[in-house]
Amino acid sequence: MTLPVFHAPTPTDMRRSMGRFTTGVAVVSADDGTGNPCGMTISSLTSVSLEPPILLVSLTHGSRTTDAIAATSAFAVSILGSRQEALARRFATRGGARFEDMPVDHSRSGLPLIADALAQLECRVHAAHDIGDHRVFYGEVTDMRWRDGTGLAFYSGRFGDFHDFGHDELPWLY
């Protein structure tokens, strides 16, 4: 199959192109400063530094979660497992009380976390930058825990999970 001709990207084209990059799925959450939890599904999460431990999340301008993190300088990340697609969908919708009537864990400082997530990390905002229609937060990980399991994957607008090829782990990745 031949690739189409190069052209200037539209927002839809950018979304479709980046959709070809398989990512994990997480929920970033915060407290809005008045005791109300907020959160949103993200796939824009990456480790930036191991020493000190810093990760990056990119959130849409104007969302309740973005505003809460900007106001409180703290957030949590719950990396979802392959059986948590319903939660990913729940936190991907706009508005509503996403944490209502669901089991919630809390970090040691009280931030809301998705129960039974594969990993839960608490972060203090190290830096933030406005880039295009998003705000990028660099979070220094101050507390974390994780468990074994298969992560929820996202590819081309669909959820799935990872199937390895049966190779040994690459020790340089750890």
- Please give the CATH architecture assigned to the domain spanning 24-154: Roll (2.30)
pLDDT tens track for 13-36:
888 888 888 899 999 999 988 889
pLDDT tops 70 at residue 172 = no
Question: According to the model, what pLDDT value does residue 129 have?
Answer: 97
CA distances from 113 to 7, 29, 156 (A): 41, 7, 26
pLDDT tops 90 at residue 130 = yes
Gap between the Cα atoms of 42 and 136, Å rounded: 12
Question: According to the model, what pLDDT value does residue 67 have?
Answer: 96
Assign 66 to helix, strand or coil.
helix
The residue extents of the domains of the chain are 24-154
For all residues of the chain together, what is the average pLDDT?
Answer: 92
Mean per-residue pLDDT, 152-168: 88
